[in-house]
Structure formats: C-alpha cells, structure tokens
Structure 1
Amino acid sequence: MVSNSEDLVFRVITKGDQKIAVAYFDDLINPTSMQDSIVRPLEESSEDLNYHLIKDTINIAKLTTTNAITDVVDNLVNGTAYIFKEGDTHGVLADVADKGTRALEKAETESLVFGPKISFTESITKNLNLIRSNINDPKLCVETFMVGSRTKKKVQMVYIKDIAEEENVNTFRQRMTDIEIDSIVDSTVLAQLIEDNSFTFFPQFITTELPDRCTISLLHGKIALLVDRSPTAIIGPSTFINFFESTEDIYMRWNMGTFLRFIRFVAIFFSILLTPAYVAVLTYHYEVIPSALLVSLGQSRSNVPFPPVFEALLLEFIIELLREAGARLPTKVGQTMGIVGGIVIGQASVQAGFTSNILIIIIAISALGSFTAPSYAIGTAVRIIRFPIIVMAGLYGGVGIMFCFCFILIHLLKITTLGRPYLSPIYPFRFSDLKYSIFRMPYQYLVKRPVSNHPIDKGRIPIKKAKMKKDVDE
C-alpha cells in the first residue's frame, strides 16, 4: 500500500532468536527520539519481548497497538514508527514525528493595540493548548475527525458542552463526516466545504488567527474547528455583524468600543455606495448637487473624455491592481509600491485628463472604508460587489443603486450560517443581542449570553451581583 520510496526505512534489531523490525519514513521522524526512545531501549532490553512488553520498554508517550495494515500506512505517512516483532500478532505505533512548527509569534493579519498579541501556529496541538490555557473548564469538549481520502488531515471540533447548543454541534459533526475529498490544504478550504451557500460573495464562517477571539466565541456559545498544519481557526455560526467586530472592542472601554464599531459600519456603507452615488449623480441627477460644488465639479471634469461610469470603473480597477501588487510583493517593497504607485498614478491620471480630482478623493475614501473591516474576507466581498453597483448606477442612476441595495439585502436575508439566520440579531430582531453586536455595553449589563447562539447556559453574571455597588464600604 506504500509505493517505493527511498526515505521508507526498515530497521531490523536482532537479539538472539528474535527479530524486531522498525519501519518509518526517515524524513518525517525525529532522529533523536527514534534513537534514544526506541532503538536503544530495544537493544538494551534482555527480555523476550512481545508487543505488550515493547510498549513498556520504549520511552514514547503516545503508543497504540494495531494489526491493521491501513492503520499502519496512515500513521507512517504522518511521522509514526511501526514496531513489529517477527511472529507476533500485533505491532506498536510510536509517535516520533518531527512536527517542524514555528514558535508562537505575534499575529500578522489581525493586528491589535490592546489585548494578547499571540497567534495560532501550524501545530494543532499548540493551538488546542492555547485554547485550553484560556478556558480551563472541564466542560471544554474536543472531538477529532480525520478528513481526506488521500491526505488525511486531523480536524478538531472544540466547544463548551453546557454552553454550545446541541443542534449546532450535531450540524457541525454531520458536515464533517459528510465531507468526501482527497485532501484539505487549510482551514479556509474546510470552511468552504461546510458552508451553507457556496455561490455567495459573503463569508459564512469567521477564520481567525487569534486564540482570544476563539476563546470569546466559545464562551458565547459558538463552536471552533482547528485544522492540523493551519494557523487559523474556524468559528461558527457566524453572523454578518460578527465580521465587523474586533476583540479590541472588548478590551477597550465600552463607549470607545461602540464608537469604533459605528466607524466601521459607516465606513463600509460609504465604501459600497459612495462611488456609485458619484456616478449616478453626474449621469442623471445633477439637480441634487449644490450650486457651489457644481462649478468645481464641472471644472474638474472639463478635460475628462470618458463618461463617469467608465471613469469610476477604471480607477477602481487601478486601485485593485495596486492592492494586489502590494500584497504579492515583499513587505517593504509592497508598502512602497502602494504609496508611490497611488500618488504617481493618481496625479498622472488627473493631469492626463483620464479622471477628475473629486473622483480620486471618493475612490480613496471607498478603498479606506473597505480596509476598516477586521475580516479580510468581508472586506474583499465589499470591494467585489461595488463593481456591479457602479455599473447599475451608470445605467439607471439612483434607481439602479436602490435595486442593487435591495437585491443585496434580500440575498443577506436568505443566507444562513450553520442553519442560523445570517443577519441575526437584525433579522430575526433580538433587542437583547444588540449590546453584543452593534453596541458594546458595560460588563454589568452583559448578564446573559447572546440569544442568537442559543446557548444552553444563558447566564454570564448573576443579576444580583451585576446590580450591586462596587464599593463594599457604602
């Protein structure tokens, strides 16, 4: 079942009449652990060994016995050694894999000012340890799945048993067992395989590299998936508003956190509608422009030979080119490319008569607005849906914008995440959950967990304790 491979090693240890074979892939194991924990103890042992005594002889923590060839092959390709004595009925699998993972580092894609800076790594063991160190609750449950027909990847589902709703857990469990694919490369691929709607631009599961965000979600009644060799965790069910929340909102004072959330919502609204509004106004609705601004608009567009819709699409496309080029280049070169390229191309476009100064400002505000979303996935979705709205604004003006807005709203109402409404707590409306989504209230008012997650244990803070005064001497 294993093809010819030069790194597949069969090492035979002969002791009198008994022969013990050790099979392993040389490139996948830790040589020191192999020599010190397996080979040397077997060579120094004076007993007549069988697989029971082999387990007691070698110094490896993770040991299992098996006589199934499929188990042996699956474990060999994951860095496990198989120890078998000639004539015995079972062999021993010993985990001596060289994990080759990086040390714990600062988060790169989700930068924070306040709160823990540590991020997940490619080791599923380290990632689970990070979660357990944050939640030392005996009710924290971990279920393991092996996904992939050719390359089996370990996936662990993490949840708190007396908080997470059983229906959500069962839905996750069913979707994991129903997956039929040869391999999953990363957690982002797994999220696409288990999502409710594969044809929408909007992501339905949060993927995060922050252990504290994963911890907060678990305490609110959500479920997390960890994938081996992936530095991000999947969190579900996730609503549309969750993608605009940052853990920094929790670490800051409640009024500051609420203000920052409003800034993000307004920025995303401007990012979607500002450029289409410019196109619609200049194409069909000159009457809504103030007379003082109309003169400057006319002067700015006097040398532009293109209609507003083509002008806007051209600039949006250039911005996307700069963003993609900056992301693909090395860090320092990418930052320089983004800044210098934006200034040079913007100034040259205005002087050459390709665009107007006002549209440059509007495009820049729209681009900045899409970057305010803490989730990269939702920011990308916003940038994509802006293009069809601009086209509709150029064809039908304000009516086209409203048509697109209504279409997107209806689409969001139809989307579900793990079978739950995507727009919760806006639809269905749950007033008590607004303090966890749109607003960020003081902690003494957060006495219950979000209803949208359907938690079993609904209470977070006893109501009597929350109403008590803080000074004990009063």
Structure 2
Amino acid sequence: MRKNQAKSSNNIFPIKVDKLKKQMESRFENNPDLVFTIYEHQKKKIAVFYIGYLVEPEMVHNYLLKPLLTSDKTWANPDILNDIPLSTGKTKEKLQDILQNILIGEVFIYVEGEPAAVSFILSKKEKRNLTQAETESLVQGPKVAFTESIAINMNIVRWNIHSTDLVLEKIMIGERAPREVRLIYLKSIANETDVNTMRQRLKDLEIDQLEDSSVLMQYIEDSSQTIFPQFYSSELPDRFAYTVTRGRIGVLVENSPTAILAPSTFFSFFESTEDLYMRWNAGTFLRYLRFIAIIISVLLTPLYVAATTFHYEIIPTQELITIGESRAIVPFPPIFEALLLEFIIELLREAGARLPTKIGQTIGIVGGIVIGTAAVQAGITSNFLIILVALSALASFTTPNYMMGTAIRIIRFPMIILAGTLGMIGMMFGVCFLIIHLLKLSSLGRPYLSPVYPFRWEDLNKTLYRLPNSRQNKRFASYRPKDLIRYSKRKASKRKDIDE
C-alpha cells in the first residue's frame, strides 16, 4: 500500500527555489550534511543541492558549477542536459524520486520556473579492494572474490562472461532505504519461467530496507520454515559465471559481497568449482568423499548413542570391552554425554569464528585438546566418544557451502536425541523424516532432490560424479534451459594432432 502511495506522489514543479529549499530541509530534519546552495545567473535563481559526503566535491565544481555559472546562457533543462559534459543527466519531477536518488549520491540542479529538476550521478563510493575469498577457499582456480560494490561485481561478471546475451536487469528493493539489486542471466539459455518467477519475487517484495543478499534469500525462498538453504550463495565470481552459463540465474545486491544462484538442488551445495579444475576422476573422488562425510557427520554419533544404550549386540565383543572400560567411570547416560560434547564442539567453533583469526585458531586447537583431555580425566565422558564427535565435526567441515554445513551440524542434535530415546528405530525415523522433508522442498519451483527425484540419468554426471569434459556437452536438463547443448560431443572428443 505504501509503495502505491509513494508512486502516486504529485509533481512539485515548477516551484520557488526558496520553497524547495524549505521542503528539502524539512524532509532531512535540517541535516547539516544537506548542501543546498542558491545561485543567481542571468536574472534566474538556480539551486544546486546534494548530500555532501556522498559526492565528489571536485567533480561538482569542475563539471557542474563551473560551466553552469561561467556561461552566458539563460539556462533551461534541455540546455543543461546537452551542454553539461556528463552523460548521466536525467530529469526528475517527483519529490519522492529526488529524495531517493539524492541518498545514493546524485546532484540536483533546479532552475526556477522549469517543470523538473535535473540530476547527475557524481557519487563517491567507498569500496574494498579485490581480495581472496574467505568462506570458499580454493587450492586451484581463481582466488578473487566479490566485494561490497555492485558496480565492481558487475564488472567482474562481465569480465568472466564475454557475451552480448548477458542481461543485468536492475530492480530497486526497499521503500524507505532503496537498494539496487541486479537480476543476471543469459537470455538465450536461461529458462524464461525461472526468470519471470525470480523477477516477480523481487519486485513484489515490500520491505523498508534490504540488509544483505543472505537476508534477501530468506525473503524469496520457496520455504522459510526449513533449515536447508534453497538458494546457493557464493562469493566466487568463477562459480557465478559457471552457474549462469549453465542456464541458471544470478542475483547481485548492492553492499553485499555474496551472490545468489538459483535454482539450486541439494547436491549443488556439495559441489566445488575446484572439482572442475581437477581431473575428472579426482573430482569424482572428492565429491564422493563429501557425500560420505555427510553420512558420517549426521549418523556416526547417534549410532554410538543407540548402540551403547539399546543395541549392544551390534558391537563386536572386543570393541564392546574397550567401550565398557572407557565408560566405567562415566556417571552419565550416553545421550547426555554425546549432547554435552557436541555442545562443547559448537562452542569452540563459534568462539573461534568470532575471535580474531590468529587467536581463534589457537583457541580452537588448544581449547579442544585441553577440554577433551580434562573431560576424560574427570570422568565426564569416554575417550572413545571424543574420537567419534571430533570425526563427526571434521566431516561437517568438508561441505563447501557454509549455510549447508551449519544445517548438517544442527541436524545432529535431534538425531542424537532420537537415538538416545528410541534407539535404531528413532534413527530410522529421523532419516525417513529428513528424506521426506527434502522430497517436499523446491528451489524456484524446481525439485530440490533433482536429478535423483525425479530421476534423470543424464544429469547424474553433473551432480553425483563427473565425466571427462569431452563428454559433458549438455547442460543440466532438470533446469529446462532453452539451449540444452553446450557443444558438439563428436568434435570435442576428436583428436587433432599436428601430423593429421
């Protein structure tokens, strides 16, 4: 409702310059950062106004004030647009448009009696230099990461995707503090239904302010109740370019160093661009390793709790004696013992992440050793369980995506509770519940467990394993791209030696 009211704001021009100054000052609560200067030129009053710290003062003086005040012309809006040596000039008639654009670094010129004000973009943007990615570290491949400047990020995307077919659609989100969002896709490849769905979700979003791309994901995901992320967030431009050229959609947000990629499947969160830079068999091995690590992370500790509480018969006799000896002085049941250790592991991880890098690494290593040793000596836990919990925590860190890794670590807690109360039956109930839940999820309307369900044999080599590049000539069919074929499989596999 408020958006419709803002759009229906009446044109305030023509207006007296003094009255315009009062309106602007009242809207900004007499903020001293508002620069509103009135000049008299050729018997006409000219107002130049902007937010001081948002613009380049030298550019305002050299490119606007100098030609404006030294010319003999009686200025009108068409003359300003044609003669001022800047290509960003536009006219604005509504007060709401002026208020929104002045906050992003535009300078306004109003000649008394004209039907609109003229604006020029002279914004001063504080930006961070290109650095190496932190949350998605790679051994091989490009190391550069996105920054908080959407202009720099779009430049990086253009640099990675040299195509006139690339669309960077601009959408403003936020009613009180608008923020620029870019919808990016390849027009000849991306599925039109997916593009329209994403565009509609972005344009229909009515919020006061958009903080970050991770917040935007929570607004536009298919389901906000699940713990699993449905859109992939990445700070790697090469991952972004690879995904967009395969027919998916990217979203960049101003002041956010991470991009959104959609639609995404459950398996795409365990893929790494490093898999592409390695030989196909090594990449396949690492991908299988991550899938095995998920199973270990979710089920290993609950399996120990279920076995030591209800199912001693599944433990080999010699190992059962070892476990019994290590638990002989432990006064707590296995479920409490496991939950306590998992809680301590999460405390150490969170403390290490929040402290400065060097201190955080020291706290994580030393804290883990000291607390683990002290817990065993005090009889709070068994040394056997410490090994299993540490292995489960290590396995969860193999997930390339931070949000999915966090979801897997959280899942362990209800699985331990089910295993400690119902044994193997509780574990199977938890596994079945997870599978059914994942089957019900979707990402931008596409099945979340694709290509396993619905099953597509031709897409398995892009998710569960890799084939040689000469045989990966098709795009992901489950996303239904306009152009399924990437290149000729026959020509790509043909050897061309010099002597032929």
Q: Same fold (TM over 0.5)?
A: yes
Cα deviations across residues 282-319 of structure 1 (Å, max 9, x unaligned)?
A: 00111111111111111111110000000000000000
> 1:362 aligned to 2:388?
yes
- SS at the partner of 1:179? coil
Amino acid at match of 2:213: S
* Partner Cα separation in structure 2 for residue 463 and residue 367 of structure 1: 42
For 1:241, the equivalent position in structure 2 comes to: 267
Q: 2:457 aligns with which of 426, 431, 447?
A: 431
2:248 to 207, 215, 222: 222
Partner residue of 2:54 out of 19, 22, 28: 28
Q: Note if contact 1:220-1:453 (Cα within 8 Å) is conserved in structure 2.
A: no
For 2:54, what is the secondary structure of its paired residue? Answer: coil
1:151-300 alignment runs, 5 A limit? 151-300=177-326
Tell me which residue corresponds to 1:68: 94
> In the alignment, what sits opposite 2:166?
140
Question: Residues 61 and 100 from structure 1, CA distance in 2 versus in 1: closer, same or farther, beyond 3 angstroms?
Answer: farther
Q: Indicate conservation of the 8 Å contact 2:287/2:464, yes or no.
A: yes
Deviations 1:197-242 (A, max 9, x none): 0000000000111111000000111000111111111000000000
Contact (CA 8 Å) 1:63, 1:95: kept in 2 or not?
yes
Matched residue SS, 2:37: strand
Matches within 5 A, 1:38-187: 38-187=64-213
Is 1:372 paired with 2:410?
Answer: no
Gaps of 5+ in 2: 1-26
Per mean C-alpha deviation after superposition, the further-off stretch among 105-114 and 13-22 is: 13-22
Say yes or no: does 1:5 pair with 2:5.
no
SS at match of 1:119: coil
Q: CA deviation at 1:434?
A: 1.0
User: Per-residue deviation at 1:469?
Assistant: 2.1
Q: SS of the counterpart of 1:198?
A: coil
Q: Offset of 1:45 from its aligned partner?
A: 2.0
1:371-410 equivalences under 5 Å are 371-410=397-436
Which stretch shifts more, 461-470 or 122-131? 461-470
> More deviation in 58-67 or 292-301?
58-67
Tell me how far apart the structure 1 counterparts of residues 334 and 133 of structure 2 sit (CA, whole Å).
Answer: 41
Residue 389 of structure 2 is aligned to residue 339 of structure 1? no
C-alpha separation in 2, matches of 1:33 and 1:338? 50
Tell me which amino acid in the other structure corresponds to 1:89: P
**Aligned residue number for residue 451 of structure 1:** 477
Question: Could you give the per-residue CA deviations for residues 129-160 of structure 1, whole angstroms, max 9, x where no partner exists?
Answer: 11111111111112111111111011110000
Q: Between Structure 1 and Structure 2, how many residues are aligned?
A: 474
1:472 CA drift (Å):
5.0
Query: How many angstroms does 1:44 deviate by?
Result: 2.3
Query: Quick one: distance in 1 between partners of 2:78 and 2:445?
Result: 48
In structure 1, what is the equivalent of residue 8 of structure 2? none
Report the more deviating stretch, 78-87 or 232-241. 78-87
> Secondary structure of the equivalent of 2:53?
coil
Q: Partner amino acid for 1:336?
A: T
Query: Which stretches of structure 1, 4 residues or more, deviate above 3 A after TM superposition?
Result: none
Candidates 462, 468, 471, aligned match of 2:494: 468
Shift of 1:56: 2.9
239-248 or 136-145: bigger deviation: 136-145
Normalising by the residue count of structure 1, what TM-score does the alignment of the two structures yield? 0.98
Find the aligned partners of 1:116 and 1:309 in 2 and give their Cα distance: 45
In the alignment, the residues of structure 1 paired with residue 29 and residue 162 of structure 2 have an alpha-carbon distance, to the nearest angstrom, of 44
Q: Distance in 1 between matches of 2:448 and 2:409?
A: 20
RMSD: 1.1
Q: 1: CA distance between counterparts of 2:237 and 2:269?
A: 16
- Cα 1:470–1:310 shift into 2, 3 Å: farther
- CA distance in 2 between counterparts of 1:247 and 1:172 reads 24
CA deviation digits over 1:143-191, x for unaligned, max 9?
1111111110111100001100001001101111111111110000001
- Written as runs of structure 1 = structure 2, the 5 A alignment for 1:323-334 is 323-334=349-360
Partner AA of 2:277 in structure 1: Y
Identify the range of structure 1 (369-378 vs 11-20) with the bigger mean alpha-carbon deviation. 11-20
Q: 2:42 aligns with which of 4, 9, 16?
A: 16
> For each residue in 1:299-348, what CA deviation from the matched residue of structure 2 results, as whole angstroms up to 9, or x when unmatched?
11111000000000000000011111111111111111111111110010
1:304 corresponds to which residue? 330
Match of 1:414 among 440, 459, 472: 440
| CA–CA distance in structure 1, aligned partners of residues 189 and 386 of structure 2 | 50
Q: Which amino acid aligns with 1:455?
A: P
